[in-house]
DNA sequence: ACTGGCGATGAAAAGGTTTTCAGACCCGAT
DNA sequence: ATCGGGTCTGAAAACCTTTTCATCGCCAGT
């Protein structure tokens, strides 16, 4: 069912058909009406590939995530997918399996099928990222690179909430279990934490770096206990859950013996016992904002930056210092 | 970066470039080598829209999931995405937000941009599903409909493993917390469970139906305790985690007072304490198999059915009956 | 009556690839 | 020397749509 067939049946040229459908105001009402009726009765829908070929617009977005199995990401994907859908765009999803080297290749591969790409927590180095952003309209989510539109969260404020909460409970010696050294998110966390604790009476012990997964937390738990702190802030919730798991196995009571605080607020955080106190980062909102920024970039060709609020979720894993 | 540019640099025609890349055996080795090198160095990837225009194949697959935030699905998506990628296909992801009415619309919308669709645990009714499968090449994952290619798991065997495990531990009174009444998965579970317990000395108490989420488990936990059973099998892991959570809050010891057994083996299952004994369903493998069946369907136009093995994972939440 | 301008339409080009068909070349056989 | 056959390559058509440019007819204004 092609445009020519519609044109033939309606007794007009193909040009008039496309006009009647996509810029109706330029065709005579009678003609427009007739063409649209014929198109509808024949069940005609323009071939998107052919349209994309000439307009350069595909009506699709790309979305790259490092690891969909990491519970931090699915909500972001939902946000992106939902908002993209509202804007009548479909979403290509690609999972890079935490391989920084694979990212650029996937982006370039997707590039010609999409109008723009949302890069979620990309692991690749900044220069390469900047180069990529020059080739394809790109928005970063949870990564910041000057000149590239990005969605992040107020880490500093989140960390301030976390530390204030702990000091209010009487904690003075706090450990931080760091994530991967090369991770942008980890650098942001460390920077924020140091800034917040600098002029306070808090004594900060940094340990790590661990992989940002459950086993990472398990592996460092005993060292945390040996450090003689009364509270520990983990790089993220998965690491915090690893700590909780190992603490439970060793009979260490949380929060009576030690308080544990995570970062992200993944769904699991409130399913465990004790439920995890954590700094919630916007996820679905971040995905939506990413699409908004992409639409803005495509429309007005300007790079915008957006910083979303964070919120400490106080649950059962933090309590008064011993 | 078009095929012409590659052709120009390599000193051949566009036809030779496309041959060197897609049907290498028909071009002289020296030419082939040179063309491929030039293409690689220029970062050339064929424009898929243009290719699709002439071949009729888009090189894309669609993937529908009910809710990506449900931890059962991300791994399936990874499986689909990974295998599709190996077959040089990109994947459109759509999340239906558990809305059966939205499914058909999304499929039809995606239909024109893809060669086929993987429908993951679709919630829609069977007749509608059958109609859809007639319009677009479709493969079902975790749903079975006669005549439509499908990937499922050996629920009966999984349930047998679960019940044998419990009876070996001395359990005789077992509760089953059912999922949504309309859910295909729940019907399969119930059918398997009844078949397995029919001629045994096990006394089965069915309760529910609950929503297949954490709060569903929380909400039914007290009724489970009141039922006087020594073990409970939950519709899925999320419900089981809800049970564990409420049991912990009430001071009921697991597995000393009651054994808890889940279904799915989502990643959280081994992160909680006690870790959850559960029947593992293949997830990534199911996604891969879905793509395999889709490729098979497109290639040979025949519908295949595949049933993957299940495996009981014994962890800390089950123990000897009191 | 003529010009200018406007509204509506069609013809044709463009977009990037694959495929078909024909041609060029080389080798071995007659 | 010619021919047949095989291998490799290039030119051109085809896929379907949108957009540009040109044409046509008509009306208002002079």
What are the residue boundaries of the structural domains of chain B, listed by start? 3-46, 60-153+283-309, 155-281
- Give which of B3, B41, B55, B74 to mutate to test A binding, by max A Cβ within 10 Å: B74
pLDDT at A43 over 90: no
Give A269's Cβ-side CA count (13 Å radius).
Answer: 29
What per-residue confidence (pLDDT) applies to A295?
93
Chain A residue closest to B88 (CA)?
A109
Among partner residues B82, B95, B272, which is closest to A81 by beta-carbon distance?
A: B95
Query: Span B233-260, mean pLDDT?
Result: 94
Query: Span B288-296, mean pLDDT?
Result: 95
Among partner residues B60, B112, B214, which is closest to A271 by beta-carbon distance?
A: B214
pLDDT at A300 over 90: no
Q: What is the DSSP letter of B19?
A: H
pLDDT at B60 over 90: yes
The alpha-carbon gap from B91 to the nearest alpha carbon of chain A, in Å, equals 6
pLDDT tens profile A264-292? 999 999 998 889 999 999 999 999 999 99
C-beta atoms surrounding A190 within 10 Å: 21
Fold of B60-153+283-309: Rossmann fold (3.40.50)
* Band of pLDDT at residue A302, cut at 50, 70 and 90: confident
* Band of pLDDT at residue A160, cut at 50, 70 and 90: very high
* Band of pLDDT at residue B322, cut at 50, 70 and 90: confident
* Band of pLDDT at residue B149, cut at 50, 70 and 90: very high
Chain B residue closest to A51 (CA)?
B49
Structure tokens at A153: 């969260």
Sign for the pseudo-dihedral over CA of B188, B190, B191, B197: positive
Query: Span B250-256, mean pLDDT?
Result: 92
What per-residue confidence (pLDDT) applies to B224?
95
A6 touches chain B (CB under 8 A): no
* Band of pLDDT at residue B201, cut at 50, 70 and 90: confident
Among partner residues B45, B68, B241, which is closest to A271 by beta-carbon distance?
A: B241
Structure tokens at A219: 């592996």
* Structure-token match 């395999």, residue found: B292
Q: Which of residues 64-93 of A touch B (CB under 8 A)?
A: 68-69, 71, 73-75, 77-78, 81-82, 85, 90-93
The separation, in Å, between residue A30 CA and nucleotide C5 C1' comes to: 23
What per-residue confidence (pLDDT) applies to B300?
83
The separation, in Å, between residue A267 CA and nucleotide C17 C1' comes to: 46
Same fold: B60-153+283-309 with B155-281: yes
Distance (Å, whole) CA B97 – CA B76: 16
Structure tokens at A1: 């069912």
Question: Does A69 contact B81 at a Cβ distance shorter than 8 Å?
Answer: no
What per-residue confidence (pLDDT) applies to B154?
96
Question: Does B112 contact A214 at a Cβ distance shorter than 8 Å?
Answer: no
- CA distances A64 to A67, B33, B190, B202, Å, are 9, 32, 39, 49
Distance (Å, whole) CA A53 – CA A57: 8
- Chain D: positions less than 7 Å from a protein CB are 7-12, 14-20
CATH architecture type of domain A3-46: Orthogonal Bundle (1.10)
* Band of pLDDT at residue A299, cut at 50, 70 and 90: confident
C-beta atoms surrounding A144 within 10 Å: 15
What per-residue confidence (pLDDT) applies to B264?
96
What per-residue confidence (pLDDT) applies to A165?
96
- CA distances A246 to A231, A254, B211, Å, are 15, 11, 31
**β-bridge mates for residue A204, sequence order:** A174
DSSP string covering A156-223: HHHHHHHHHHHHHTT--EEEEE---TT-HHHHHHHHHHHHHHTTSSPEEEEE----SSHHHHHHHHHH
B164 touches chain A (CB under 8 A): no
Q: Which residues of A touch B93 (CB under 8 A)?
A: 63, 77, 81, 91-93
Cα B235 to chain centroid distance, Å, stands at: 16
Nearest Cα residue to A17 out of A26, A57, A88:
A26
A197 touches chain B (CB under 8 A): no
Helix axes B14-22, B3-10, angle to 10 degrees: 100
What per-residue confidence (pLDDT) applies to B316?
93
DSSP H helical segments within chain A, as ranges? Answer: 3-10, 14-22, 29-41, 48-55, 73-86, 100-111, 126-135, 155-168, 184-197, 214-226, 237-249, 284-300
The separation, in Å, between residue B26 CA and nucleotide C30 C1' comes to: 30
What per-residue confidence (pLDDT) applies to B187?
94
Phi, psi (deg, nearest 5) at residue A192: -65, -45
Average predicted confidence (pLDDT) for chain B: 93
Give the whole-number percent of chain A exceeding pLDDT 90: 81
* Band of pLDDT at residue B199, cut at 50, 70 and 90: confident
pLDDT at A178 over 90: yes
pLDDT at A208 over 90: no
What per-residue confidence (pLDDT) applies to A111?
87
Cβ atoms B236, A179 nearer than 8 A: no
Q: What is the DSSP letter of B26?
A: G
Task: Kindly determine whether the C-beta of residue A26 is less than 7 Å away from any atom of nucleic acid strand D.
Answer: no
Q: How many CB pairs under 8 A join A and B?
A: 132
What per-residue confidence (pLDDT) applies to A200?
83
Helix or strand or coil: residue B198?
coil
Question: Does A53 contact B53 at a Cβ distance shorter than 8 Å?
Answer: yes
Among partner residues B49, B53, B63, which is closest to A58 by beta-carbon distance?
A: B49
The domain A155-282 is placed in CATH, from the list 3.40.50.970, 3.40.50.10420, 3.40.50.2300, 3.40.50.720, at: 3.40.50.2300
Distance (Å, whole) CA A69 – CA A84: 22
pLDDT at A232 over 90: yes
**H or E segment at A264?**
strand A259-264
- CATH number corresponding to B155-281: 3.40.50.2300
Residues of B 103-132 whose CB lies less than 7 Å from any atom of strand D:
none
Task: Kindly determine whether the C-beta of residue B47 is less than 7 Å away from any atom of nucleic acid strand C.
Answer: yes
Give the whole-number percent of chain B exceeding pLDDT 70: 100
- Chain C: positions less than 7 Å from a protein CB are 7-12, 14-20
Among partner residues B52, B93, B271, which is closest to A93 by beta-carbon distance?
A: B93
* Band of pLDDT at residue A230, cut at 50, 70 and 90: very high
Q: For A58-153+283-309, which CATH class?
A: alpha beta
B304 touches chain A (CB under 8 A): no
Task: Kindly determine whether the C-beta of residue B51 is less than 7 Å away from any atom of nucleic acid strand C.
Answer: yes
Give the whole-number percent of chain A exceeding pLDDT 70: 100
What per-residue confidence (pLDDT) applies to A70?
93
pLDDT at B320 over 90: yes
Q: Which residues of A touch B49 (CB under 8 A)?
A: 48-50, 52-53, 58, 112-113
The separation, in Å, between residue A115 CA and nucleotide D24 C1' comes to: 39
Among partner residues A97, A110, A248, which is closest to B90 by beta-carbon distance?
A: A110
């Amino acid at each position: 069912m092609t445009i020519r067939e519609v044109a033939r049946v309606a007794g007009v040229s193909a040009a008039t058909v496309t006009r009647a459908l996509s810029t109706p105001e330029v065709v005579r009402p009678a003609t427009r009406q007739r063409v649209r009726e014929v198109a509808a009765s024949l069940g005609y829908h323009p071939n998107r590939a052919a349209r994309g070929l000439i307009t350069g617009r595909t009506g699709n977005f790309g979305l790259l995530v490092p690891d969909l199995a990491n519970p931090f990401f699915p909500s972001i994907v939902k946000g992106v997918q939902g908002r993209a859908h509202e804007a009548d765009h479909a979403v290509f999803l690609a999972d890079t399996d935490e391989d920084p080297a694979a990212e650029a290749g996937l982006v370039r591969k997707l590039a010609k099928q999409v109008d723009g790409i949302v890069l979620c927590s990309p692991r690749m180095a900044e220069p390469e990222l900047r180069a990529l952003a020059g080739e394809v309209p790109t928005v970063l989510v949870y990564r910041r690179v000057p000149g590239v539109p990005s969605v992040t969260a107020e880490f500093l404020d989140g960390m301030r909430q976390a530390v204030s909460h702990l000091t209010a409970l009487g904690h003075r010696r706090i450990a931080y279990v760091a994530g991967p050294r090369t991770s942008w998110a980890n650098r942001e966390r460390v920077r924020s934490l140091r800034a917040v604790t600098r002029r306070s009476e808090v004594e900060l012990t940094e340990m790590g770096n661990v992989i940002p997964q459950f086993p990472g937390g398990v592996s460092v738990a005993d060292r945390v206990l040996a450090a003689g702190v009364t509270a520990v802030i983990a790089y993220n919730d998965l690491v915090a859950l690893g700590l909780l798991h190992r603490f439970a196995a060793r009979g260490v009571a949380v929060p009576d013996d030690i308080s544990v605080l995570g970062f992200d607020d993944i769904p699991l955080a409130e399913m465990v016992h004790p439920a995890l106190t954590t700094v919630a980062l916007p996820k679905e909102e971040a995905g939506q904002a990413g699409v908004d920024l992409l639409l803005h970039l495509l429309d007005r060709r300007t790079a915008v930056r957006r910083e979303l609020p964070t919120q400490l979720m106080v649950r059962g894993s933090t309590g008064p210092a011993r």
